Amino acid sequence: MPRRSSGEDPYQLSPSVHCDWTRFLQLVEHALPMGPTGLPDLEKALALVRGKPFGGKPLPWAIPLQQEMITRIVDIAHTIATHRTATGRQHNFSAARLAIVTGLDVDDTAEVLYRDWLRIEHAAGNRQGLHTAITRVQQVNQALDCSLETETFQLINELLNNPTPEARKAL
């Protein structure tokens, strides 16, 4: 911390002190307008995430910052999963799953990430993985004493009733 010149001067960190959150935002702001070609920077940003920001019990001043960070992280995990499951050069189920795991580590109640996970496992023909994701989202919602979002409920029914071509061959 640089020395203050008077008692009224606010405390501030030296400009040489860097923060992962600042780097996360720089990478994201650069990459998002690029669409799928920005995936490497989005994945670098998400790789900076190490669990829930400020831990499980943030101080009152940190709660608004924590919520903003969680929202942005979940959004980036969802964006990566969406791009990585699309057909094309960027298609990569493993990278999509990694984004989902990171996002759910930050917010295990984010149903948008569970829907992404369901779509990934269905597209991969991984019936067991699909059932694991369904069980997990149901357990989380049961612990919260709330119902699944309508979109999640409908997606589960759709995926369970429409097996992938790979799954049809196995039947």
The pLDDT profile of the chain, 171 residues, written as one tens digit per residue, is: 556 677 677 766 667 767 899 999 999 999 999 999 999 999 999 999 999 999 878 888 889 999 999 999 999 999 999 999 999 999 999 999 999 999 999 999 999 999 999 999 999 999 999 999 999 999 999 999 999 999 999 999 999 998 765 544 444
pTM above 0.95, yes or no: no
Q: Are the C-beta atoms of 25 and 41 separated by less than 8 Å?
A: no
Q: How far apart are the first and last CA of the chain?
A: 66
Q: Are the C-beta atoms of 107 and 101 separated by less than 8 Å?
A: no
What's the pLDDT at 57? Answer: 84
Position of tokens 């203050």?
A: 4
20-170: CATH topology: 1.25.40
Position of tokens 């799953």?
A: 97
Position of tokens 């995926």?
A: 159
Token digits for 84? 């990585």
What's the pLDDT at 170? Answer: 46
CA distances from 86 to 15, 69, 81, 82, 168 (A): 41, 26, 9, 6, 22
What's the pLDDT at 16? Answer: 73
Token digits for 102? 């990171």
Token digits for 163? 């097996």
How far is it, in rounded angstroms, from Cα 47 to Cα 127?
28
